[in-house]
Structure 1
Amino acid sequence: MPLTDEERKRLEQLERELSLEDPEFAQKLRRGLVVGPSVPGLWDLVLLVTGILILLAGVAMQFILVGVIGFLLMGAGAYRLSGQPQPSKALRR
């Protein structure tokens, strides 16, 4: 959805203010190099491994509900791990 003229002017004003206050951070935003957590997929990996262990426990104990919960956790962890982080394009021109 395109920005209105007023929104565009406000965004440009915010960009200028950011560049004056913290030029290094503003440059990182323009290049899309804003870094998140140091180990971005750690909790996703823990979720995947926990899901596998719960799935195996459910199968070994022959509890279908436990196996299904493990499968869902495993699937959620795998799905989150498969997502590739995209660079920030907020201030890129």
Structure 2
Amino acid sequence: MALSEEERKRLEMLEQELVSTDPDLDRALQNGASGEHPRESATMVRGVLTLVGAFSLVIVGIATELIIVGAVGFLLMMAGAHWFTKGIGLQTGPEETRHET
């Protein structure tokens, strides 16, 4: 649904007002929100899928009493947890230092 000319003008006025009142927010929006990069999302998804698959291996290892299967599942769970937390770390990023002027 297209915006009317009046709605477009109102949005532009709101945008200009927002830019003038909060330049840090404008800069953040221009750079893009964190967590929207495919690499970050892919890292988290890979971690979650690995965790689910590895947990299944642990259960299979317990059910079949094969220690090696359970051990491999546990190691994969550790890798999946690492990838998941790495994806979260990529989304939040390092804390920016702010200089008050």
| TM-score of the aligned structures, taking structure 1 as reference length | 0.52
User: 1:58 aligned to 2:61?
Assistant: yes
Structure 2 equivalent of residue 42 of structure 1: 45
Highest relative contact order (Cα 8 Å, sep 6+), 1 or 2? 1
Query: 2:78 & 2:46 partners in 1: Cα distance?
Result: 14
* Runs of 4+ residues deviating >3 angstroms: 31-35
Structure 1 equivalent of residue 26 of structure 2: none
> Comparing both structures, which one devotes a greater share of its residues to helix?
2
CA offset digits 1:33-81 (Å, max 9, x no partner): 6952173311110001000000110011000110000001111101211
Quote the sequence identity (%): 30
2:62 corresponds to which letter in structure 1?
Answer: V
Unmatched 5+ stretches in structure 1: 1-26
User: 1:82 aligned to 2:80?
Assistant: no
Aligned length: 60
| TM-score of the aligned structures, taking structure 2 as reference length | 0.49
